[in-house]
Amino acid sequence: MVRQGTSRTGGSRTKGSAPGQSGRKSGRPPLRPVYRRRRLFAGVVLLLVIAVAFGGFVAVSNALGGAQPAGAQPSGAGASPAASPTDSASAGPTASGEASASPTATSGEGCEQNLITVTAATDKQAYAAGEKPLLSLTVTNNNKVPCEVNIGTSQMEYMITSGSDRIFSSRDCQAESADLMKTIAPGKSETANFPWQRNRTVQGCEPVEATPGAGGAYYVFTARLANKNSPKAVFQLS
């Protein structure tokens, strides 16, 4: 006899899941931790892109704006000009010792010493009580070629006398000596000024209590540059 009923194999198929249901397992949405990691990775990449873009902008901005490195100093900062003969003399001679006996003009073919002249002058011919005379020493190049002349305080002297009385010398109290070589063009001059304080001096710069007399007395100013002496300049003190 043949027994009725389903076979084992058929029964197992009847009890199993329907075809196509197993494919739904691969289509499930990702788990939340995986999704978060993906979002985090995307955010990091975005930040890196922004940082690179910003850095490139800064570099370009610096290049266009001519930005200087940290600590760089602008050109010419702090440059100071050399003192002129007038500035040196206005502050008072600072040389010590005797002036050099060597010629003052040293360069230029055809530059003759006898054509280098020194003159003395005052800003006024008469001064009221308390007024301080401004003494001027001027060196002139009368050559037809430029001449280099030492017009430093090491070569200068401002001398004031009254008759046979030696009143003042700028070299009596000089503490320092300085050379200043200057090329003077043909027919041109250089002037150095010295404000006299209406005081007396002696060699060695010893203290002197006496002061030059007033009351209309006349005084003689003579300028000297190295071995060249100027003509006399006469002025009056009241």
| Res 129 pLDDT > 80 | yes
Continuous segment of H or E residues that includes residue 225: strand 217-225
Please, what is the end-to-end C-alpha distance for the chain in angstroms?
A: 169
The mean predicted confidence, pLDDT, of the chain is 72
Phi, psi (degrees; rounded to nearest 5) at 139: -110, 130
pLDDT digits (tens, 9 = 90+) for 217-228: 999 999 999 999
Identify the DSSP state of 72.
P
pLDDT digits (tens, 9 = 90+) for 178-201: 999 999 999 999 999 999 999 999
Handedness of CA 143, 144, 147, 149 (dihedral sign): positive
The pLDDT score that the predictor gives to residue 41 is: 57
Instruction: Report the range of poorest mean pLDDT among 14-28, 89-103, 209-223.
Output: 89-103
DSSP alpha helices (H): ranges in 75-205? 85-90
Q: Are 216 and 238 in contact (CB under 8 A)?
A: yes
**Domain boundary assignment for the chain:** 85-228
Classify each residue of 43-58 as buried b or exposed e, where b means 16 or more C-beta atoms within 10 Å of its C-beta. Answer: eeeeeeeeeeeeeeee
Q: What pTM did the predictor assign?
A: 0.57
CATH 2.60.40 matches 85-228 = yes
Q: What percent of the chain has pLDDT over 70?
A: 55
For residues 120 and 137, give the distance between their C-alpha atoms in angstroms, rounded to a whole number. Answer: 5
In the chain, the amino acid numbered 87 is D
